[in-house]
A and B are shown apart, each in its own frame.
Chain A
Amino acid sequence: MNSRIWERFTPAQRLARFTIYLAVVLALVVSLRTVQIVPEFLYDAPTQMADMFTRMWPPDIAHYKGGVHEALVESMHIAGMGTILALILSLPVALLAAKNITPVPILNWLARLILVSSRSVNTLVWAILFVAVFGPGALAGTIAIGFRSIGFCGKLLGEALEECNKGPVEALKAAGAPWPSIFLKAYWPQVSPAFWGITLFRWDINVRESAVIGLVGAGGIGMALDTAINLFRWTHVSLILLCIFTVVILAEIVVTKIRERII
């Protein structure tokens, strides 16, 4: 009688998995017990939400021309300029981060540090910092969006550069081409699809983010939203939310269409 039992996981693997399940459940229980939630507020939430939505209806369309249009255009400019700024700033960082272009470990490490710190600070936090530096307005917002995007663009661009085929690079080097020519004619054609993909993807994200950085005073439609909320003008709030929704959906459609065409 063959009593061998087949098992998919070793005891160590099972122990590791079990520990993780236990840790997750424990963390959840501890969090639920210690977090300060007033249950009455939760039971009350549906009524409050219904009340809010009745106040919001109908959106005050007439307000669009006077108070929203300009802020919306400003938001789009912040998203566009922020993306362009991010690309300009992330290019040198990406070059430093790519191990095949910069074969100096300490510079790679430095570039990676810049990329990580850019990504771990939220756009809204960047916006707070730059509002303190440049004062409230679109300048702070543009630079905040740009700085937040460096991490994303630089990381993906650096990875694209590392994956480049060496053939064209060595051919140009052998022909005695100077460094700018090598970059322009050997690396650029290989990374340009990735570059445009990254640009579109980040622009799409930045359109969403540029709508909210105004809440801390960094310009765009978020400022109009903040004012409307503070004044309890719920019909204006719903109009602004509707505009943001439309712009975000349009941006996504545009990005999908362009992506289909160029990639």
Chain B
Amino acid sequence: MSAAETRRAFKPNWAARIGWLAVAAYCVVAIWSLEITWDRFVIGLENGAEFLGSMIPPSFARWQLLLNNLLETLEIAVIASAFGVVLSLPIGLAAARNLMPAWATWPARILIAICRSFHPVIFAILFVKAVGFGPLAGILTLIFASIGFIGKLFAEAIEEISLKPVEACRAAGAPFMSVILYAVLPQVLNRFIGFATYQFDANIRNSTMVGIVGAGGIGGTLFAAFQRFDYDFLAAILISIIALVMLGEYLASIVKAVFNE
């Protein structure tokens, strides 16, 4: 058997090879245009070691400030989740194309798209300008973020329901609210609770962040500690944020377990 006749188990995939080459070329171009150099990276690593050194041990000396801020963060998350969930119910319902006419779905869909397309931080900046520094801006920001997220998923969940109960209710002459209450909601309630608990979780994460632009909560203290080179306090804040996020995940899992059994 000559070499030419040797069968190869796997054919070379030229399209994939060219694709990988293109990715590598893009990396080179991007690194060059971002002015990332090896020297900077090495200097950064040295800085990083120093930075980590000054973070240890974390300083919980100002624990009262820390606790107050954590409570404010939690308050922002609770209020924003409650209002966000309540508001996204009708908006999600209005955006469902299988139940609502086009004149109702389009405005709802545009509202959801606007809420989704901007990062919460950008909303936070605008709200800080509109209502001043403080937790109110953070609450409004996270309400918008919640509407974007839950509204979209809720609308999709409603679009997937079985229409038979809806038709049955309508055939029996049920008014609109009864159709929603007895034919639509029972089919989507479980998923809705899933979205709501997830959003509460996400709001805790995000409310640690909106403070960076002045919208209340622990983020403001975090950024201040960073700017004053208070790195041991920064480490304490980071540890408490991670603890708070884990607590939120735990609470969400309890709620989900109760409603899904």
Residues of A within 8 A of B (CB): 13, 16-17, 20, 24, 27-28, 31-32, 34-38, 41-42, 44-45, 48-49, 52, 73-74, 77-78, 80-81, 84, 117, 120-122, 124-125, 128-129, 132-135, 137-139, 142, 185, 208-209, 211-212, 215-216, 219, 225, 229, 241, 244-245, 248-249, 252
Contact = CB atoms under 8 A, between A and B. Distances in A.
Interface in B133-155: 134-136, 139-140
B223 A216 contact: yes
Nearest to A234: B129
Contact of B33 (A24, A32, A73): A73
Contact of A42 (B121, B136, B261): B136
Nearest to B27: A84
Nearest to B23: A84
14 contacts: A31-B78, A31-B79, A36-B134, A45-B130, A117-B242, A122-B206, A125-B222, A132-B226, A135-B44, A211-B119, A215-B121, A215-B213, A219-B34, A248-B118
Given A35-B75, A41-B136, A241-B122, A16 B205 contact: no
Contacts of B34: 74, 77-78, 81, 138-139, 142, 219
Nearest to B133: A41
Contacts of A41: 131-132, 134, 136
A49 B130 contact: yes
B26 A80 contact: yes
Contacts of B41: 134, 139
B67 interface: no
A38 B47 CA distance: 42
Nearest to A49: B130
Contacts of B136: 37-38, 41-42
Interface of B: 10, 23, 26-27, 30-31, 33-36, 40-41, 44-45, 47-48, 51, 71-72, 74-76, 78-79, 82, 117-119, 121-122, 125-126, 129-132, 134-136, 139-140, 205-206, 208-209, 212-213, 219, 222-223, 226, 231, 238, 241-242, 245-246, 254-255, 258-259, 261
Nearest to B80: A31
A215 B31 CA distance: 21
Given A35-B135, A132-B231, A216-B212, 4 more contacts: A34-B71, A35-B75, A37-B135, A77-B30
Nearest to B128: A229
Contacts of B45: 133
A151 to B, nearest CB: 12
A142 B209 contact: no
Contacts of A28: 78-79, 82
A35 B72 contact: yes
A113 B36 CA distance: 29
Contacts of A78: 34
Given A42-B131, A42-B136, A212-B121, A120 B205 contact: yes
Contacts of A84: 23, 27
Nearest to A133: B48
B48 to A, nearest CB: 4
B117 A248 contact: yes
A241 B40 contact: no
A175 to B, nearest CB: 10
